């Protein structure tokens, strides 16, 4: 149980290969069409940051609610959080492509566009970058604290580490809820600079846990196939499946509420957002988003017992991995690049990011014990039966 | 190195204190039904009846003279009645939420509280239902709103959120009553078995549906409760979501916001839990239930309230920010002029302080351990939540797009009378409940108590 992860040669090779594909895709993108590449960089940054932040919110929630069932594999979400500092750097790079993504960043737009002029105190490049730095600083500090507390707990059996982790978790969840919803408004909603929705940030923040759980499940099965987590039993699988099922309802609820309210009131300034998505060339993806993130997981997981099955869990989680990408594509692309594009640049960049993300996560896992050594609820978790 | 077991016990505390036998638990928890009626019960009943009588007078006025006796006018066509309706519905949320969500999340501590919370739900939803019913003007024609084939060529507007409301709330009320009633069937059987009173034996025996406590019955019973729970979970969410849709699908500034459904839902849980806290603090004192509703139970409720308050605060902040961000003059006026600094500023800041700031006291352990402070905060929250609904409903209607149609809104005595009447209904209902029905689910608490004892023995702790 004391082992930490060691990166096998094959895994390392595959991930390196993915990163190389990604680099090639980015270079191809910048050479052929920078306006198409920048939104893709934003998409992938937000994509993997969503998983990281969701994972850390999941990790904090376990402490806040005093949940014991997940104590055994709590290092997986913690490792997933390691991408947050990297995401900070990658997001700062966006600075050079602001004009290709955001309408409000075009020079001189405030003189011709009255609404953007009204929003200018908020939507201007310096403030945008300052906010970005603040968000990341506020996320990274509690993340590092939680990580160091976890590592210290392994060395010394003391309840104080659990209590302090609990406290930092509360701070983190406060910051994450407030500023991740704010960040979603900042980075995604302002692409359609005229449009607004109060639910937007809240939805992005809540559903991030959904995708994080899907990633945790995939990583858990990957590690189990390598011989880790021998105690992983049916009850753990069942609880993870329930997480997915309930979050599918949450996703469907928030998605539908935003759509229904805007559709019903039919105010042109607000329905304009759904016009290209609901009626235009994005409409198939619009429905695909709903089916992949809500309808299919919901219907499949409706029968309580089916979630215990490994193929179902892996299948649904993989579906969600694609679902998040489509969800972000539908949110980001119509307002920025404007035309539906799907080719090597999109796929290659995602693969490259995925390779990098996995490498960072696995590297983080190799730096600590796979199973926490002195977590007070470890015994509960190992003997978790329903 | 010592392993984890040494401090594994510090995190979980027993949910039922005292090394109690089953008989002792029955005796203590059925005391309210089997003992003598306490004096304060009659006092409470008297107050409740007086309030109910005031409500009856107001109801009579509304019917005989018409809705002109209310403070409504052309602009504010929805006044106190809708404010109170939403307020009661919000309170009515917590009971079923308690049972369902804590069943789903395996939170055993809810077992000591869910019965009273569900009773609160049933009576609160009944109070809520009265307002739209009276607002119809002709309550005897209320069945017109139900969709059924009829010879009057009436057909309902299925596009109307008000109609969705009717369906959601009736379904919710029926399911809540079923959940409440079926949950108490084993307890009713226990009372029927123990009582010496012949009439009581007959009535409790009849309502216990021939419960014999066999393994077979329990097996069926648990399946039924799980199924009902599964059905009720979406209903809990749907009710307040649809109440929120009543407002948010319109185009009124301050109403048309996409965050309203989740925000209303959280607000309902928040206010409902505050009401549960108020009631549990009183009940555990009145019936000496300190071993069953421990500090830990109240502490847990306080935690839920604290996080609920943060989400409410986030929603307030989001609405304010997006109102400015939208650049729509009407939205900006509603939020920044009418609500924050204008006619409604007192109500607005009461709402902010009571809902988003005061509950933050629950971050301090001292506040969570002090019953007086807890009780006061729970009352403050319920006042704050009333002002929240008042702000949302009245401020948007009284000062909307056209300054020439701006009006001031004042409730009349009849408005206040109906509201007082619902308090009477609620008080009387709750008092009847605590006199004739076990206020804690005896059959649920027994296994919890046993588990607590087992854990205590294993850990060599003395409780």
- Taking only the tens place, the pLDDT of each residue in B427-436 is 999 999 998 8
Q: Which domain holds residue A229?
A: 9-241+344-364
> Is pLDDT of B6 > 60?
no
Residue B413, chain A, CB below 8 Å: the answer is: no
> What pLDDT shows up at residue B293?
87
Q: Which band of pLDDT confidence, cut at 50, 70 and 90, is reported for residue B458?
A: low
pTM of the model: 0.92
Q: Average pLDDT of each block of 10 consecutive residues along chain A (386 residues)?
A: 76 93 93 91 94 95 88 91 93 91 88 90 92 94 93 86 91 93 93 92 93 94 88 88 91 93 91 90 91 93 85 93 94 89 91 94 89 83 79
Q: pLDDT tens for residues B402-428?
A: 889 898 888 999 999 999 999 999 999
Chain B environment of A374 (Cβ under 8 Å)? 3-4
> Is pLDDT of B396 > 60?
yes
> What pLDDT shows up at residue A1?
47
> What pLDDT shows up at residue B460?
47
> What pLDDT shows up at residue A351?
94
Instruction: Give the residue from chain B lying closest to A71, CA to CA.
Output: B4
Q: pLDDT tens for residues B107-141?
A: 778 888 888 898 999 999 999 989 988 988 888 88
Residue B262, chain A, CB below 8 Å: the answer is: yes
Q: Is residue A285 part of a domain?
A: no
Residue B157, chain A, CB below 8 Å: the answer is: no
Task: Name every residue in A having a CB less than 8 A away from some CB of B.
Answer: 66, 114-115, 118-119, 122, 157, 159, 162, 174, 177-178, 181, 196-202, 242, 246, 249, 253-254, 257-258, 260-262, 264-265, 267, 269, 374-380
Q: What percent of chain B has pLDDT over 90?
A: 38
Average pLDDT, chain B: 87
How many folded domains does chain A comprise? 1
Instruction: Give the residue from chain B lying closest to A118, CA to CA.
Output: B327
Q: Is residue A107 part of a domain?
A: yes
> What pLDDT shows up at residue B12?
66
> What pLDDT shows up at residue A191?
92
CATH superfamily label, B22-145+156-448: Formate dehydrogenase/DMSO reductase domain (1.20.1630.10)
Q: pLDDT tens for residues B45-63?
A: 999 999 999 999 999 999 9
Residue B75, chain A, CB below 8 Å: the answer is: no
Q: Are B424 and B50 in contact (CB under 8 A)?
A: yes
Q: Is residue A32 part of a domain?
A: yes
Q: Is residue A334 part of a domain?
A: no
Q: Is residue A80 part of a domain?
A: yes
* C-beta atoms of A197 and B260 within 8 A: no
Q: Is residue A266 part of a domain?
A: no
Higher pLDDT: A262 or B448? It is A262
> What pLDDT shows up at residue B8?
43
The ranges assigned to domains in chain B are 22-145+156-448
Chain B environment of A201 (Cβ under 8 Å)? 318
Give how far B70 is from chain A: nearest CA, Å. 29
Q: Which band of pLDDT confidence, cut at 50, 70 and 90, is reported for residue B10?
A: very low
Q: Is residue A374 part of a domain?
A: no
> What pLDDT shows up at residue B2?
39
Q: What percent of chain B has pLDDT over 70?
A: 95
Q: Is residue A90 part of a domain?
A: yes
> What pLDDT shows up at residue B462?
39
């Amino acid at each position: 149980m004391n082992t930490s992860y060691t990166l096998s040669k094959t895994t390392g090779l595959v991930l390196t290969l993915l990163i190389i594909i990604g680099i090639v895709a980015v270079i191809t993108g910048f050479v052929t069409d920078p306006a198409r590449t920048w939104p893709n960089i934003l998409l992938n940054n937000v994509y993997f940051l969503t998983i990281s932040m969701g994972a850390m919110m999941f990790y904090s929630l376990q402490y806040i609610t005093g949940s014991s069932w997940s104590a055994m594999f709590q290092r997986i979400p913690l490792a997933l959080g390691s991408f947050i500092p990297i995401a900070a750097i990658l997001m700062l790079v966006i600075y050079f492509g602001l004009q290709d993504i955001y309408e409000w960043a075009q020079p001189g737009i405030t003189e011709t566009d009255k609404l953007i002029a009204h929003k200018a105190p908020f939507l201007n490049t310096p403030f945008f970058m300052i906010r970005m730095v603040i968000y990341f600083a506020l996320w990274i500090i509690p993340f590092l604290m939680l990580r160091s507390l976890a590592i210290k707990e392994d060395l010394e059996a003391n309840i104080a580490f659990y209590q302090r982790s609990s406290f930092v978790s509360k701070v983190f969840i406060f910051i994450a809820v407030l500023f991740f919803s704010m960040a979603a408004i900042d980075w995604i909603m302002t692409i359609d600079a005229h449009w607004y929705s109060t639910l937007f940030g809240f939805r992005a923040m809540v559903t991030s846990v959904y995708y994080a759980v899907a990633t945790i499940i995939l990583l858990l099965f990957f590690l189990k196939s390598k011989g880790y987590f021998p105690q992983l039993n049916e009850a753990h699988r069942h609880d993870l499946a329930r997480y997915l099922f309930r979050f599918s309802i949450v996703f469907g609820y928030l998605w539908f509420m935003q759509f229904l309210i805007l559709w019903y009131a039919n105010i042109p300034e607000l329905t304009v957002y759904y016009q290209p998505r609901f009626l235009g060339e994005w409409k198939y993806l619009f429905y695909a988003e709903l089916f992949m993130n809500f309808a299919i997981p919901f219907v499949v997981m409706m029968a309580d017992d089916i979630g215990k099955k490994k193929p179902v869990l892996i299948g649904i989680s993989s579906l969600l991995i694609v679902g998040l990408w489509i969800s972000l594509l539908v949110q980001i692309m119509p307002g920025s690049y404007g035309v539906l594009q799907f080719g090597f640049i999109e796929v290659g960049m995602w693969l490259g990011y995925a390779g990098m993300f996995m490498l960072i996560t696995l590297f983080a896992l190799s730096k600590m014990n796979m199973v926490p050594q002195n977590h007070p609820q470890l015994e509960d978790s190992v003997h978790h039966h329903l | 190195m010592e392993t984890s077991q040494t401090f594994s016990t510090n995190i979980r505390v027993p949910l039922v204190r005292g090394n109690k036998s089953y008989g002792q638990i029955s005796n203590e928890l059925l005391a309210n039904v089997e003992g003598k009626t306490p004096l304060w019960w009659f006092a409470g009943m008297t107050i409740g009846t007086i309030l109910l009588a005031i409500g009856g007078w107001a109801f009579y006025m509304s019917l005989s003279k018409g809705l002109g006796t209310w403070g409504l006018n052309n602009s504010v066509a929805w006044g106190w009645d809708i404010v109170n309706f939403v307020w009661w519905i919000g309170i009515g949320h917590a009971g079923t939420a308690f049972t369902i969500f804590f069943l789903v999340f395996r939170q055993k501590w809810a077992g000591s509280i869910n019965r009273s919370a569900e009773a609160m739900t049933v009576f609160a939803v009944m109070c809520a239902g009265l307002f739209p019913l009276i607002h119809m003007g002709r309550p005897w024609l209320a069945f017109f709103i139900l969709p059924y084939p009829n010879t009057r060529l009436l057909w309902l507007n299925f596009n109307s959120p008000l109609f969705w409301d009717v369906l959601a709330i009736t379904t919710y009320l029926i399911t809540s009553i079923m959940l409440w009633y079926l949950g108490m069937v084993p307890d009713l059987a226990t009372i029927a078995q123990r009582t010496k009173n012949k009439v009581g034996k007959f009535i409790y025996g009849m309502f216990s549906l021939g419960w014999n406590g066999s393994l077979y019955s329990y097996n069926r019973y648990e399946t039924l409760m799980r199924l009902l729970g599964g059905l009720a979970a979406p209903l809990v969410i749907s009710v307040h979501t649809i109440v929120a849709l009543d407002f948010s699908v319109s185009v009124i500034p301050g109403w048309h916001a996409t965050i309203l459904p989740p925000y209303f839902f959280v607000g309902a849980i928040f206010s409902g839990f505050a009401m549960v806290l108020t009631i549990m603090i009183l009940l555990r004192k009145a019936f000496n239930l300190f071993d069953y509703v421990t500090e830990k139970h109240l502490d847990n409720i306080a935690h839920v309230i604290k996080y609920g308050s943060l989400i409410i605060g986030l929603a307030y902040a989001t609405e304010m920010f997006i109102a400015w961000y939208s650049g729509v003059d009407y939205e900006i006026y509603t939020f920044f002029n009418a609500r924050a600094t204008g006619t409604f500023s007192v109500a607005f800041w009461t709402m902010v302080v009571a809902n988003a700031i005061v509950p933050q006291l629950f971050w301090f352990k001292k506040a969570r351990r002090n019953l007086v402070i807890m009780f006061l905060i729970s009352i403050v929250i319920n006042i704050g939540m009333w002002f929240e609904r008042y702000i949302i409903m009245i401020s948007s209607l009284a000062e909307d797009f056209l300054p020439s149609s701006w009006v001031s809104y004042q409730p009349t005595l009849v408005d206040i009378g109906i509201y007082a009447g619902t308090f009477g209904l609620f008080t009387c209902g709750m008092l009847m409940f605590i006199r004739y029905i076990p206020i804690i689910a005896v059959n649920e608490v027994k296994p919890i108590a046993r588990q607590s004892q087992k854990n205590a023995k294993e850990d060599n702790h003395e409780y």
